[in-house]
Amino acid sequence: MEKAPSKLGLIETYFSEFTPKQLEQLAALEGLYDEWNSKINVISRKDISQLYQNHVLHSLAIAAAYPFPKGVQVLDIGTGGGFPGIPLAIFYPEVKFFLADSINKKLTVVKEIAGAIGLQNIETRHTRVEEIRDRKFDYVVSRAVAPLGDLWKWARPLLLKRPSEGEFPASGLICLKGGDLAAEIAASGTRPRLQEVFDFFPEPYFREKYILYVHR
């Protein structure tokens, strides 16, 4: 099997766990998102050239901070073009990901990209998260979708009560956010664990970007 293209160098700097198949899946994302973004704008055109840093590696910050056990189910609220869900699904082939969004054309992109790279552990649904009533999840993830208070209001009823086990976190909401979050956190009524993405990936882009975890 050919060596993964050098464009994955940034990913491989921080993750050595990927198999050759996973590296192939990651390498295919650039061309697929370039193609789909020309039809449906799911990624800002100003940073599509930084796909692996700004979107893939950023999504994988969740994996760096909070490993998921095999067999759990994870809901990605407002997945958009598939972030953080698709990179996490590549990283965790034995975890089931449920990607929800209220904009169906974005889910078309998610389904087409997942099919093109052979992801078998993704399910999508065109819905608002408030309308999900038939499923429960071990974890809920999101990236820059809504204020923390809203995310927690939506996530809490959908979470199973899974205790922490060793390195694995208890059931909860794990979200990626940026900027000054003090007022947002205060308004949410939650007490999240806050970690800087820069502590995991010391790249200038990740300054003032955070991983928030609110346990069930």
| 129 in a labelled binding site | yes
Strand order in the sheet with 172-178: 122-126, 96-101, 73-77, 139-143, 172-178, 209-215, 193-196
Show Cβ contacts of residue 145 under 8 Å, excluding neighbours closer than 6 positions: 77, 78, 151, 175
| 94 in a labelled binding site | no
For residue 215, what are the CA distances in angstroms to 95, 112, 174, 180? 19, 33, 8, 21
Helices (H), the chain: 9-14, 20-37, 58-65, 85-91, 104-117, 148-155, 182-188, 197-200
| 135 in a labelled binding site | no
**Alpha-carbon gap, residue 121 to 101, rounded angstroms:** 17
| 78 in a labelled binding site | yes
Binding-site residue set for S-adenosyl-L-methionine: 78, 83, 129-130, 143
Summarize the annotated binding site as residue ranges: 78, 83, 129-130, 143
